[in-house]
Structure 1
Amino acid sequence: MVRRWVSASRLTVLLGEDDTYRHRPRYHEIVRRARDAGLAGASVWRGVEGYGVSSHIHTTRLLDLAERLPVLVMIIDDTARLRAFVETNADLLDSVIVALSPVEVFDGVRH
């Protein structure tokens, strides 16, 4: 197996853990749709602290504020496929922050 660096893109979606879409966690629906679209992979991370437009800090350090914690969904794939995913799922992504960045992925290729 030959390993090499491959150009790809990273789609980063920032939202709150209690953001919902049709009564389900929005991050879950994003991952489900990414899988259904055949994208290479998606992961979800829960933050320990953050703030948004309101500038109100949400943190796990204070029990009464341990809600609305930040969540990050990361999807890696080809740039064109990620752009198409965002356009196709605009209804799901309309109220969250979406960023697309170039990345290099260390990939294994069989010969």
Structure 2
Amino acid sequence: MPLEGDAQRVSVYIGSSDTWHGTNLAVAIVERCRALGIAGATVSRGVMGYGRNSRIHRAQMLGLSQDLPERVEIIDRADRIATLLPILDEMVSGGLVVVEDLRVVRDRHHPSQPD
């Protein structure tokens, strides 16, 4: 069912070295969202950033930092996000979780990809 109209976006800011029960935390969040039937989730890795402790994390020329910033964005209806927030509270021990109201104007599957 397409998601259009009023919705919410949850952005979870964490580090790439964060884990949940031995799995990368971003992967664990996306897998949990999928299991719950959440409309969509995407992980983006940053090349540089800092958080509360003001320590800069950045990709290095000859390799990647051990703890690059990651952002998990999750979009669904407000009632579905409300059920997800306590789960995220349990999973995210350090990081930032932000909820924003938004309006989805188009949600269509790509015609060459199966549902």
TM bin (shorter chain): 0.7 to 0.9
Higher strand share: 1
TM-score normalised by the chain length of structure 1: 0.83
| SS of corresponding position for 1:34 | helix
TM-score normalised by the chain length of structure 2: 0.81
Greater alpha carbon shift after TM alignment, 54-63 vs 39-48: 54-63
Cα shift at 1:54: 1.9
Greater alpha carbon shift after TM alignment, 87-96 vs 66-75: 87-96
Tell me what 2:70 maps to.
Answer: 71
Letter of the aligned partner of 1:28 in structure 2? V
Moved over 2 A (4+): 61-65, 93-96
Gaps of 5+ in 1: none
Letter of the aligned partner of 1:77 in structure 2? D
Distance 1:91 1:17 in 2: 18
| SS of corresponding position for 1:9 | strand
Greater alpha carbon shift after TM alignment, 64-73 vs 19-28: 64-73
Gaps of 5+ in 2: 109-115
Tell me what 1:106 maps to.
Answer: 105
How many pairs align?
105
